[in-house]
Structure 1
Amino acid sequence: MLHTRRTLALTLAAGIAALAAPAMSRAQAWPTRPISWIVPFAAGGPTDALARDIADHTGRQLGQTILIDNAAGAGGTIGSTKAARAAPDGYTFLVGHMGYMGAAPALYKKLAYDPVKDFEPVLRMPDTPLVLLVSTRSPYGSAAELIAYAKQNPGKLNFGNAGVGSTSHLVAALFASRAGIRITQVAYKGAGPAMNDLIAGQVDAMFDQTNTALPQVGARLKAIGLTSEKEMSQFPGVPTLGATVLPGFETSTWFGLYAPRGTPKEIVSKMSDAYLKALEDKAWTQKMAAQGIRLLPTADASATALGQHTASEVERWKKVAAEAHISLD
């Protein structure tokens, strides 16, 4: 009987090993064909442009082409759902974004995916802080003056944003909550129309990503506060909100690469290593930095760091959305 049990155990172990061997072999050989990165926005936008740039440099390190699959719609949730349901074979990844991987659970009552449970975090990409903007004709020369006016005139300060649930909408809500002020948010169909009305003086202020706002600052817009932890050389003389009016205030439009849950760890590691190797190209990283894109230390770009950041952001935006009564359902 004892001999039979031992034989059965050895047979089961051999069977498990035989089943695991092909998967391990595939992970070791990966990638043998082009890889797809799903970007849940239309081609030509800032997320798409950043993803294509990083995919190109990372693909070179892997010796394989990384193709961008633009699966746009519903604030990025359509593409995210597609990625969550993809085969975990290392050939489909999701380029994640603060909106649909951080804020979406707070904005949608029924979401077809869970940013934490349905994905394997791979790496955190460079992010873009935001900048508080007013027109050059605006009477406000600082964030302190803006807040002082709002406190004396509740609801009269108008903030433009790129649409309900957009980064600019959520960050303005966070800003108002932390400052203890009541503002009126004006939603547009995209950042472009909102920016145009800000320049024209139709709205009083707006938050925008540093990389897209940079070309507009000076001639037509004034930057009066940054959401970054430290000041940025691209915005000389512009203080951070955390160092002036809102101690500890920091946020950014962050990006990360995710794989469907169950993707082999060996593949996740290979993709992450290829990206870190690509970052050794100083000419490339300096070009990104000059555009207002913030590169992260290696430790902050790891899969573990991305997983922790995703979970904390989901909780953060649930609180903000609840306080500001923001919903997309």
Structure 2
Amino acid sequence: MKLVKTLSAIGLALSAHLAHAQAWPERNLIWIVPFAAGGPTDGMARDIADRVAKQIGQTIIIENAAGAGGTIGATKASKANPDGYTFLVGHMGYMGAGPSLYKKLAYDPVKNFEAVFRFPDTPLVLLVGANSRFKSVAELIAEAKAKPDTINFGNAGVGSTSHLIAALFEAKAGINVQPVSYKGAAPAMNDLIGGQVDAMFDQSNTALPQVQGGRLRAIALTSLTPMPQQYPGVAPLADKVLPGFEAATWYGLYAPAGTPKDIVQKMHQAYMKALSDKAWTAKMSSMGIHLLSDAQYGPDAFAKHTASEVEKWRKVVADAKISID
């Protein structure tokens, strides 16, 4: 008799859960963006959120929870109710390299989150000043090998994407350069233009105006394929110089662990419908954003990508001895 009652209770709970999930969404959703409003992550998140909101029929509110390299917002999202109304806009920094960069992290990017969908990637471009002595990445590597620790690379801060990619570049090229950390990409870019630093990695979309304006010169891409529309004549590092080299600033949407799978799937389906707008995706591509295959956007593929990135950056961070308290 007790077994029957127990099974009945489980059945009722499951029915209630399914009914709730089927009715979703009944109110506004929150996407936590762990950076300040107005930045590139915030801008991309708002653009995608507006388009997904139209598909699900509810408003998506962007909540900026900046601080500690994005880990404050990620921690908040990891502790949210997994009811399908709170999500995290993830970034390679705090969801890929975070476990290696921070000695004390209150969340696990793999265990504490459900991957929902991946945004298009943003490759990086290796930049030098317009009047730099380096005309190619081969020349830069050759000098770095001949004169170790004499070439300096600007970056947006310790543990930033530009810092991490430069460390990966060092390891793959077998060179040693001097990192120069700034409080943000803008001051680093200004010193690169002014000749105070020798080189820098920056996102392909944000670097494009400076390159097109002739203030900086692009000498390599971190994508596997060229970007002839945006960076004509600029070859990927993987093309002859560093075979297999690939890196990008990646973003995506996560939900707290335990969020119903059917809600995750509904969010993914809404996103894929938004991506069917060819004018929108063409605009992103023209800005230097790299579109992925449909399969790469999905929850399972994004979960695997997250796990692989955690392991990838673990070695890079350890070898480069990068640490953030």
Taking the aligned partners of 1:22 and 1:292, their CA distance within structure 2 comes to: 46
**Superposed displacement of residue 72, structure 1:** 0.2
Taking the aligned partners of 2:271 and 2:290, their CA distance within structure 1 comes to: 15
**Superposed displacement of residue 13, structure 1:** 1.2
Question: Structure 1, residues 244-272: CA drift from partner, whole Å, max 9, x if none?
Answer: 31110001000011000000001000000
Question: Structure 1, residues 50-89: CA drift from partner, whole Å, max 9, x if none?
Answer: 0000000111011111110000000000000000000000
**Superposed displacement of residue 11, structure 1:** 2.1
Structure 2 counterpart of 1:115: 109
Pairing partner for 1:259 from 236, 239, 255? 255
1:93 aligns with 2:93: no
Q: What is the 5 A alignment of 1:41-56?
A: 41-56=35-50
Report the AA paired with residue 223 of structure 1.
A
1:203 aligns with 2:206: no
Structure 1 counterpart of 2:180: 186
Report the AA paired with residue 118 of structure 2.
R
1:171 aligns with 2:165: yes
Secondary structure of 1:160's aligned partner: strand
Structure 1 counterpart of 2:72: 78
1:277 aligns with 2:294: no
Secondary structure of 1:154's aligned partner: coil
Pairing partner for 2:134 from 140, 165, 172? 140
Secondary structure of 1:129's aligned partner: strand
Secondary structure of 2:276's aligned partner: coil
Q: What is the 5 A alignment of 1:202-221?
A: 202-218=196-212, 219-221=214-216
Report the AA paired with residue 255 of structure 1.
Y
**Superposed displacement of residue 20, structure 1:** 1.5
**Superposed displacement of residue 318, structure 1:** 0.8
Secondary structure of 1:207's aligned partner: strand
Structure 1 counterpart of 2:226: 231
Report the AA paired with residue 53 of structure 1.
D
Secondary structure of 1:278's aligned partner: helix
Taking the aligned partners of 1:54 and 1:70, their CA distance within structure 2 comes to: 15
Structure 2 counterpart of 1:244: 240
Taking the aligned partners of 1:296 and 1:85, their CA distance within structure 2 comes to: 30
TM-score (norm 1): 0.97
Taking the aligned partners of 1:121 and 1:267, their CA distance within structure 2 comes to: 12
Structure 2 counterpart of 1:4: none
Pairing partner for 1:29 from 12, 23, 45? 23
Pairing partner for 1:69 from 63, 70, 73? 63
Structure 2 residue ranges without an equivalent (≥5): none
Could you tell which deviates more after superposition, 81-90 or 20-29?
Answer: 20-29
Aligned residues: 323
Secondary structure of 1:243's aligned partner: coil
Taking the aligned partners of 2:204 and 2:29, their CA distance within structure 1 comes to: 30
Identity %: 65
Structure 2 counterpart of 1:3: none
**Superposed displacement of residue 295, structure 1:** 1.4
Question: Structure 1, residues 171-230: CA drift from partner, whole Å, max 9, x if none?
Answer: 000001110001000000000000000000000000000010011104110000000010
Tell which structure's C-alpha radius of gyration is larger.
1
Report the AA paired with residue 87 of structure 2.
F
**Superposed displacement of residue 19, structure 1:** 1.2
Report the AA paired with residue 88 of structure 1.
P
1:304 aligns with 2:296: no
Taking the aligned partners of 2:129 and 2:11, their CA distance within structure 1 comes to: 66
Question: Structure 1, residues 149-175: CA drift from partner, whole Å, max 9, x if none?
Answer: 100110000000000000000000000
Deviation above 3 Å: which 4+ runs of structure 1?
none
